[in-house]
Structures are given as C-alpha cells and as structure tokens.
A and B are shown apart, each in its own frame.
Chain A
Amino acid sequence: MSAILDGLRDFFQPVIDLQSEFVSAFGETLFLAGSGLVVGGFLGLVIGTALYVTRAGGIAPNAFASFVLNVLVNFFRPIPFILLAVALQPFSRAIGVDGIGTGHAVVAIIFGSAFGIGRIVEQNLVSVDPGVLEAARAMGASRWQVIRTVLLPEALGPLILGFTFAMVAIVDMTAVVGTIGAGGLGQLALTEGYRQYESVVTWTAVVIVILIVQAGQFAGNALARKVLRR
C-alpha cells in the first residue's frame, strides 16, 4: 500500500515541488480569463449591439457606422491570436502598459475577445423576434429603451450561451499569452513542463485548464437554462 503511495508521490514530485507556482499560475489564469470575459465581454456587447443596431433594417440603421464597424471587426478577428498578442505591443506601450508581461497580455486578451464576442453578440441579437421590438416601439419606447429593456433581455439566454462559448476561447488565449510572459498555467506548462521535459507538470496544467473550462461551461449552461426556463 505504502509502496503505491510512494510511487505516486515520486511520479508527482515535480508537481509537488511546484505547488506554490501552480497556485499562483491558477490565479493568474483566472485573472487573465476574467478580465477577458468581463472587460472584453462588455466591449464585445457594445460592439455587437452597435453592429446589430446600425445594420440595414436595424433599430437605428446607419450604413456608414455599420460599414466602419464591420471593417474593424473583420480586420482584427481573423488575426491568429498569437500574432495579435505580439503585434499589439506598440499599442500597449502607447497606452502606458509594459509591452511584455501580464499587463500587455490583458490588453491583448481584451482586444481579441472583444471583437470575437462582438460577432457572437450580433448573431444572438439577430435571433430576437423583430415583432417584439416593434411592439416596444409602438408603446413609445425610445431606441435606447428598446435596446436596454427589450433587445438585450430578450436575447439574454442565447447571450449567456454565447459568452460561455467565448469563455473557452478566452481560456485558450490565456495559455497563448504564456509565450509572452503573461504568467498563468500556459506559461507554467511551457517553462516548467515542456522545456524541462516534465510531462507530468504539463499535463497537470492541462487538466487544471480543462477543469476551469468545464466549470465555466457548467455554470453558463445552468444560468442559461434558468433564464430560458427550459
């Protein structure tokens, strides 16, 4: 019995040695993902709503604004995130953040998630029954009131599922920014696992990331089910 335990301890020794590093990397990953989801999510909500509102036949159609927004989103969204993170270095420095490390990673993640979430939000808003929006307008609601009190609440269920979907991509981003010194489980797996040939460290990081994603997905599904009442 104790032989098995000893064997296990030997096997996980590198992880046990890195215990405190794992704890802080876990915190860093949550912080990076959290800032992407909250700040990037908010910006994405604004971008997506603006895309929806300004499109032809929308609540406030504006061909010029719609065109500019679409070009902007289509410009940034296809850039592979690793390149976006690298390419945004001058931008980070221009707004007074170091071009390397956690600060810059947060900037890159917010940037990447905002445009991605923007499209998801737009798609979910399109699914709202236009008749319901018309009803609100007929009741004398202003455009802003229609957006705030009808459009977004009516799309809330799908939006939650959309954000949950985006969350997985954001956790992915938090690992990628490990390459530019952002900290987090990605960097830990890279520096202490990959480069040291310590597969057990790499895989422990991977399993923790999977658990984070699972927990997020579970919470998102539960919340969406509550809002959608089904």
Chain B
Amino acid sequence: MAIIELENVSVTFPPRNRRGEPVNAVQDVSLSVKAGEIVGIVGYSGAGKSTLLRVVNALERATEGRVVVDGVDITRLRERDLNEVRRTIGMIFQQFNLFTSRTVYGNVAYPLEVAGRSKTEQRERVSELLRFVGLFDKALAYPEQLSGGQKQRVGIARALAAGPSILLADEATSALDPETTVEVLDLLKRVNTELGVTVLVITHEMEVVKTIADRIVVMEEGGIVESGSAFEIFSAPRHAATRRFVRTIVDDVPQEHELEQLRRRHPGRLVTLSFKEDAATQSQVFAEIVRAGIELELVYGGLEDVRGRSFGHLTLELRGDTAAVDAVVARVGELVPLTDLGTGEGGVAR
C-alpha cells in the first residue's frame, strides 16, 4: 500500500520581484512510496528535490496536484490540521537543526511537548529513543558538545519521538565525514527495519542511496527523469543525468581522458563488457575469448554490489589476429552488453 502518493505535483514560487519570472521548483511529479520502503531521491542542487521532500509534510504547499499521506489528502488541509499530520512525519536535516537552547533530552522531548504528552510519558519515550540511537549518556549535553554524527543521531531520535510512520531525510549525511555517514546510514536502516518506518532520503551522494535505498528516483530541473530499483539504476542507468550520477561511484565505460591514458599503455582492441547477475557469467565470456586464442588483459573497471546484487563493467584489452579479435568481439557481444572502444589507430568508433 502506498503511504505517500504524489499525483502530478507542481510547486511554483512567485517571482522574486515584479519583473522576475515565477520559479517552477517542482513540475508535474508523480511518485508513489510504499509503506516500509526506503526511497532515495537524487539530484543536483536546484533540481527541486528539497522542495519535493517538503511537499510531503506540507512545509511547502503544492501549487498543483494532489498529495496523499497515509490515506489523508493534505493538499488542502488547514494549517491546524496539518500540524496533526506533521506529527506522523519525522524530518532530519543536513545542518541537524537542533535547538541550541535545549539539551539533548530537551531536543528529543520537544515533539512530545508539542503534542501535549505527559512528563512521565516524555521521560520514558526519550530514554527509549536515546538508547536506540546510543546516546543515553549524552542526555544532559548541549548540541555544541556533540560531534556531527552525534548531532544527527539526536536529530533522528527527535524525529522519531512522536512515533512517525514516515521519516524525511534532507541531505542528512552531506555535512558528515565518510565514516560518520556510514554510522548514520546504518542507523537509518535500523529505523526502517526495526521500527518499520518508511524513509524518504534526498541526497546528491550516490554512495548514500547505494547503501540504503530500495528504490531510486532521479530528478532534474524539477521533474523526475528516471526511477527504478537501486540495482536497475546502478547497473543500467538510462537517462544522461542518471548516468552522470552513477559514474561518480561506478567506473563504467572509460571517459575520454581516461581512454587516452589507457591507449598509451594498451595499443590493442579495447572493449567494455557490462556484467549483471542473471546475465552471462564472466567465466563464459572469458572462456570464449581464450578458446579463440586471443590474449586478454583487464585494464579498467570493477565489480559493484548494490544491496546484495552484483554487477560491473570491465574494460579488456584484446590482442591477437585482427580478424579473430573481430570475431570474438561479435560473439561476446551476443553474451553481454559490449561497448567497442576500438584500437589506438582510429579503430572502431564508439
């Protein structure tokens, strides 16, 4: 069942001055998120992902379209009723946004205070949450006494305080170092699996969605350009923007300048083979090449693992009789997707 349903949502901001143009931050986006999923929305800054995320808890109102959260159409709800809905949606931020005037305890208790829960209830819930995020001993510390990772863990505890069914993460790890990022992502995964919270993550870091997202949505200029399972997106990106993103962490076909470098050392025929589980295995492919009496060398690429499924792109240099190489390239091309990079002397164009 879809817990978040966006139907043809657009968000238009009024022009900044009288002569300015209105800004279409989000344009005609439809997205359905199933309960219990972790969905990653990827895009460069200005792609509209931040606005889209805020449409879900109505911090930004959709100018057009419909937003249904947990069966409630929030598109036209009044502010007072929205506050009720917002209590079922947690949110964490890039800059953590902890209250500096409150201790860790006070921060985590805030949503409960707002909801009018009793002091006893607050104390129990806050203790429980601080244990969950591993910061029970920091209850009386102030935010400035915490490291970035600890701050975000407090942010997560606070977001979970009112027992939300959805957690929105706005570039939640972008201000953290790689090690702390892993720690926070692990925690988000636990929030998802142990508490059954649906998580919507926006980020420009592919590593983040690769680690936790079940499904990835790629945004550009206010619209969704591609979406699919994390494995689909990483192993076979279709849109140019998606490919650019995937390339930030996955070596696929060597780029122009990389190819130049490779050519200098490897004058033979270069081909990039794309492997994906379920498709032909590497051993089949290599057997084919060896049987034809062609020398091969692995010169570029690697294998990746996305959520337990592997794929990869390997660039090989093939050396041998030109006709034999041609023949083996053709045969291998039938087994796996193949990009022919040709040889140093002109060769076959890409």
Contacts and interface: CB of A to CB of B under 8 A. Distances in A.
Interface of A: 129, 131-132, 134-143, 145, 149-150, 153-154, 156, 227, 229
Contacts of B86: 137-140
Contacts of B258: none
Contacts, number: 70
A132 B111 contact: no
**Majority SS at the chain A contact face:** helix
Contacts of A138: 57, 59, 86, 89-91, 168
B101 A139 contact: no
Interface in B47-98: 57, 59, 79-80, 83-87, 89-91, 93, 95, 97-98
B114 A145 contact: yes
Contacts of B80: 142
Contacts of B114: 136, 139-141, 145, 149
A45 B97 CA distance: 24
A142 B83 contact: yes
B83 A140 contact: yes
Interface residues of B, number: 31
Given A141-B83, A142-B83, A136 B93 contact: no
Contacts of A141: 83, 110, 114
Given A137-B59, A138-B89, A153 B111 contact: no
B115 interface: yes
Contacts of B57: 138
B51 to A, nearest CB: 13
B32 interface: no
Interface in B113-157: 113-115, 142, 144
Contacts of A153: 99, 101-102
A156 B337 CA distance: 63
A154 B107 CA distance: 12
Interface of B: 57, 59, 79-80, 83-87, 89-91, 93, 95, 97-102, 110-111, 113-115, 142, 144, 158-159, 162, 168
Given A131-B93, A149-B113, A140 B99 contact: no
22 contacts: A131-B93, A131-B95, A134-B93, A135-B93, A135-B99, A136-B114, A138-B57, A139-B90, A139-B110, A139-B162, A140-B86, A140-B114, A141-B83, A141-B110, A142-B83, A143-B79, A149-B113, A150-B99, A154-B99, A154-B100, A156-B101, A229-B144
A150 B158 CA distance: 15
Given A134-B97, A135-B93, 20 more contacts: A129-B95, A129-B97, A132-B99, A137-B59, A137-B86, A138-B90, A139-B87, A139-B90, A139-B159, A139-B162, A140-B83, A140-B85, A141-B83, A141-B110, A141-B114, A150-B99, A153-B102, A154-B100, A227-B101, A229-B142
B96 to A, nearest CB: 8
Nearest to B145: A229
Nearest to A228: B100
Nearest to B84: A140
Given A140-B83, A142-B80, A229-B142, A135 B97 contact: yes
